[in-house]
């Protein structure tokens, strides 16, 4: 049953960059063909999809650069750690060279670590960060992600700059910004840090904030829309600022305002994180005051670079690869389109 599911998923999402690998080449294959298995926590997550698109592009470029074949099989864990464990077990049984894991539950990587370690197959965890102690359990484990606190500080900075340029953001003129926080998954390192540090950054700049409400929307646009509809019905025009842990949730808030028919001049200021294509469009058309670019391209490049380095039998000394962010506002949005 599990195998069948895996086959279906492979048919659905197999992206084989390897055109010339004939069967029966098993013995030679290791020398010139790198087989990477990838499991993602949720294939419908907009940011994760953008990382996967970039991984494919970087792999294609690397094939040309190194003259090797790279095949990537991407499967969706659909939010189940059990399913993801089975997927990794299958990758191990099928003798993949490297496995990329976007953990479903960042606190539960033990099965994957033990499976990979016993087979000697390196694992590159990405985006959903396991604790240091887990990553230290074997030398063949790596993490590729972002500098965790940076986007929160940059998001705070976007609000600070906007407020200094336009005090009308404080719609009722009471000297306090009344805000709503839209949070990603509970327990995710990015939700925790972004929720705390964006607010701390704004307050440290001397701007007073008052939290009117919050909603946990699990990075998801339609969940955020639902939460925002409830929140807006409660607080209406009193909301002056919406801080979202990612762009998709900021866009869900925009969907809610639009579906309620709130006039644009009454909208609270909205800020996101990720710099996905849809997020960038919202900055371009003025629906969001800004976002923070979460470097999907850089993370994809690091994944492919490390996989190839290991495949070529070279040593990788670092265990962590963290990519920096950039602020995107109306001033520089053209550069990102």
Residues that bind ligand GAL (CB under 6 A): 45, 47-48, 127-128, 184, 188, 190, 219, 246, 273-274, 294
Give 91 or 293: the residue with its C-beta nearer to ligand GAL: 293
Give 219 or 232: the residue with its C-beta nearer to ligand GAL: 219
Give 43 or 127: the residue with its C-beta nearer to ligand GAL: 127
Taking the C-alpha atoms of residue 245 and residue 190, their distance in angstroms, rounded to an integer, is 8
CB of 38 to ligand GAL, least distance (A): 14
Give 104 or 289: the residue with its C-beta nearer to ligand GAL: 104
CB of 325 to ligand GAL, least distance (A): 10
Taking the C-alpha atoms of residue 37 and residue 59, their distance in angstroms, rounded to an integer, is 13
Taking the C-alpha atoms of residue 18 and residue 34, their distance in angstroms, rounded to an integer, is 9
CB of 211 to ligand GAL, least distance (A): 21
Give 49 or 60: the residue with its C-beta nearer to ligand GAL: 49
> What are the tokens at 19?
């055109």
Give 69 or 188: the residue with its C-beta nearer to ligand GAL: 188
The sign of the torsion formed by the CA atoms of 328, 329, 333, 337 equals positive
> What are the tokens at 235?
């607080």
Give 9 or 77: the residue with its C-beta nearer to ligand GAL: 77
CB of 189 to ligand GAL, least distance (A): 9
CB of 219 to ligand GAL, least distance (A): 4
CB of 193 to ligand GAL, least distance (A): 10
Give 119 or 278: the residue with its C-beta nearer to ligand GAL: 278
CB of 82 to ligand GAL, least distance (A): 18
Give 290 or 311: the residue with its C-beta nearer to ligand GAL: 290
Taking the C-alpha atoms of residue 38 and residue 87, their distance in angstroms, rounded to an integer, is 9
3-state secondary structure the chain: CHHHHHHHHHHHHEECCCCCCCCCCHHHHHHHEEEEEEEECCCCCHHHHHHHHHHHHHHHHHHHHHCCEEEEEEEECCCCHHHHHHHHHHHHHCCCCEEEECCCCCCCCHHHHHHHHHHCCCEEEECCCCCHHHHCCCCCEEEEEECCCHHHHHHHHHHHHHHHHCHHHCCCCCCEEEEEEEECCCCCHHHHHHHHHHHHHHHHCCCEEEEEEEEECCCCHHHHHHHHHHHHHHHHHHCCEEEECCHHHHHHHHHHHHHHCCCHHHCCEEECCECCHHHHHHHHCCCCCEEEEECHHHHHHHHHHHHHHHHCCCCCCCCEEEECEEEEECCCHHHHC
CB of 28 to ligand GAL, least distance (A): 38
CB of 52 to ligand GAL, least distance (A): 11
């Amino acid at each position: 049953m599990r195998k069948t599911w895996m086959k279906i998923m492979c048919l659905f999402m197999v992206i084989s960059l390897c055109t010339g690998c004939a069967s029966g080449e098993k013995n030679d294959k290791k020398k010139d063909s790198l087989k990477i298995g990838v499991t993602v926590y949720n294939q419908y997550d907009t940011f994760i999809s953008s990382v996967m698109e970039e991984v494919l592009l970087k792999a294609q470029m690397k094939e040309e650069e190194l003259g090797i074949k790279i095949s990537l099989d991407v499967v969706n864990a659909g939010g189940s750690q059990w399913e993801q464990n089975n997927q990794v077990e299958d990758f191990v049984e099928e003798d993949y060279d490297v496995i990329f894991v976007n953990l479903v539950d960042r606190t539960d990587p033990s099965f994957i670590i033990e499976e990979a370690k016993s087979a000697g197959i390196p694992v590159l965890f990405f985006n959903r960060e396991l604790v240091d102690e887990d990553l230290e359990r074997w030398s063949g484990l790596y993490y590729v992600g972002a500098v965790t606190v940076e986007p929160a500080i940059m998001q705070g900075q976007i609000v600070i700059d906007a407020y200094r340029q336009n005090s009308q953001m404080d719609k009722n003129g009471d000297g306090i910004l009344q805000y709503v926080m839209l949070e990603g998954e509970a327990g995710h390192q990015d939700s925790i840090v972004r929720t705390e540090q964006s607010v701390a950054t704004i307050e440290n700049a001397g701007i007073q904030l008052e939290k009117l409400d919050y909603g946990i929307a699990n990075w998801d646009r339609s969940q955020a829309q639902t939460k925002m509809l409830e929140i807006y019905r409660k607080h209406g025009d009193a909301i002056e600022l919406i801080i979202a842990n990612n762009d998709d949730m900021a866009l869900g808030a925009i969907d809610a305002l639009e579906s309620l028919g709130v006039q644009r001049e009454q909208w609270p200021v909205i800020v996101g994180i990720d710099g996905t294509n849809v997020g960038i469009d919202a900055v371009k058309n003025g629906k969001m005051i800004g976002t923070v670019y979460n470097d999907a391209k850089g993370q994809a490049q690091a994944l492919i670079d490390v996989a190839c380095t290991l495949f070529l039998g070279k040593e990788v000394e670092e265990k962590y690869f963290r990519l920096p962010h950039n602020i995107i506002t109306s001033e520089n949005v053209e550069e990102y389109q």
